[in-house]
Amino acid sequence: MKDQLALYGGPKTKNTPAYPMYPGGLEIGEEERKQVLEVLENKYLFRYYGPKGVQSKVALLEKEFAKKMGSRYALATTNCTGALITALTACGVGPGHEVLVTGYTFFASCAAIVAAKAIPVIVEVDETLTMDPVDVEKKITPSTKAMVVVHMRGVPCDMDRIMAIAKKHNLMVIEDVAQAVGGTYKGKFLGTFGDCGCYSFQYHKTITAGEGGMIVTNDQRLYDRCMGYHDTAACWRPDRFAEQRYEGELFCGTNYRMSELTGAVMLAQLHKLDSLLSRMRKNQRRIIDQIKNTKGIKVRPSYDEKGDTGICIMFYLEKKELVQTFVEALVAEGVPAGGVYNSGLPDWHIYAHWKHIIHKMTPTPEGCPWTCPYHKGPEVQYSEDMNPNTLEYLSRVVHLDIPPQMSDEDCDLTAKAINKVAAALL
């Protein structure tokens, strides 16, 4: 059977072209062009002012995004990292606080906590590859102020349990929805469960302007504080020199304002979100239906299958030693795939590679935030093997992107290739 594999000289299963994973990026067309040209023709390039009588694209995007997600407020930002730092700061995270975050996420989710002057505490993922509520409970200390809850690779976290833990321990919840825009949990959009939800519109994400981000919240005070922080000190409020209306409304911030050009592209992209999601979900389901009973493979479980955005398929093999050859065999069959941990490549999505955190690398010698005098309790320590479950799951998983551009034939050939490789190797 092995000699039938393309890896060993047999016939290749899939000869149709593979699409790169730029779901919204590859769909950029007339709608984006029209929106951007309008900005240029109107000469209105800054969201807070410009020639009279022109509607700000960023303001319109915020309005439409909030409506789509079912949230009271939305604030557009330059990117999701800026959105996370802004949301954490608005939530009152700062010196002396610990913030929980998972060890399987893009490094930015963790770096944002340090940028907000707090200390990250890295928790395990469970088999869904999202935050493990059991480990969350174990890692809460009197210094824990918040959690960054990451809906990783398109799937929702266990929001019922996470929100119950947050309530019990009085923790703020910031959802990182960078990789799951449009995903849902029990019918409600991700990003709308916690105190703030943060999204990314970077080029690899479902909808994109190359760079871009968004924060949603239902809380007016959090919105005001996010708005102020992302705009240096709420400099461009309608009444810009007004006194603060309540304690904590005004303070020094930074600049994460979204540009009108980005807002224009994102307006067009937002209108394409539903179509992208339904195509990715259809493709994902079509492939999973053909591999879910295959011997030796276990498709990543989910807390809500319907809420998955469909951006990828991840499945487990029984032994990590099988992953490398399985992936090479799939690639030889014409199906781009990858392992996650131990695939020979350092990966910014796995805590074991976050040397800046593990070695507490800081821009100045004082070691802030880890040496913060406001921090009570034992110093937080890290090591490459501190979260063994996370590494165990990630070392056994195979990952495939599911671009919306795939045809039914592409999906069927992909499933056929997985089954062929599984039959030969497992």
Ligand X SMILES: Cc1ncc(COP(=O)(O)O)c(C=O)c1O
Where do contacts with ligand X occur on this chain (CB under 6 A)?
Answer: 79-81, 105-106, 108-109, 150, 176, 178-179, 200, 202, 213
- Between 108 and 400, whose beta carbon lies closer to ligand X? 108
User: In whole angstroms, how close is the CB of 193 to ligand X at the nearest point?
Assistant: 16
User: In whole angstroms, how close is the CB of 286 to ligand X at the nearest point?
Assistant: 25
- Between 256 and 315, whose beta carbon lies closer to ligand X? 256
User: In whole angstroms, how close is the CB of 239 to ligand X at the nearest point?
Assistant: 31
- Between 346 and 365, whose beta carbon lies closer to ligand X? 346
User: In whole angstroms, how close is the CB of 305 to ligand X at the nearest point?
Assistant: 20
User: In whole angstroms, how close is the CB of 172 to ligand X at the nearest point?
Assistant: 17
User: In whole angstroms, how close is the CB of 188 to ligand X at the nearest point?
Assistant: 20
User: In whole angstroms, how close is the CB of 416 to ligand X at the nearest point?
Assistant: 30
User: In whole angstroms, how close is the CB of 112 to ligand X at the nearest point?
Assistant: 8
- Between 178 and 350, whose beta carbon lies closer to ligand X? 178
User: In whole angstroms, how close is the CB of 150 to ligand X at the nearest point?
Assistant: 5
Nearest residue to 107 (alpha-carbon basis) of 373, 400, 361: 361
- Between 182 and 334, whose beta carbon lies closer to ligand X? 182
- Between 143 and 208, whose beta carbon lies closer to ligand X? 208
Nearest residue to 10 (alpha-carbon basis) of 336, 424, 422, 426: 424
Q: For the chain, first and last CA: distance in Å?
A: 11
- Between 213 and 404, whose beta carbon lies closer to ligand X? 213
- Between 307 and 334, whose beta carbon lies closer to ligand X? 307
| Amino acid at residue number 387 | N
> In whole angstroms, how far apart are CA 406 and each of 204, 230, 276, 401?
16, 38, 11, 10
- Between 263 and 334, whose beta carbon lies closer to ligand X? 263
| CB within 8 Å of 181: residues ≥ 6 apart | 190, 191, 199, 200, 201, 205, 206, 207, 273, 309
- Please, are residues 407 and 282 in contact by the beta-carbon 8 Å criterion? no
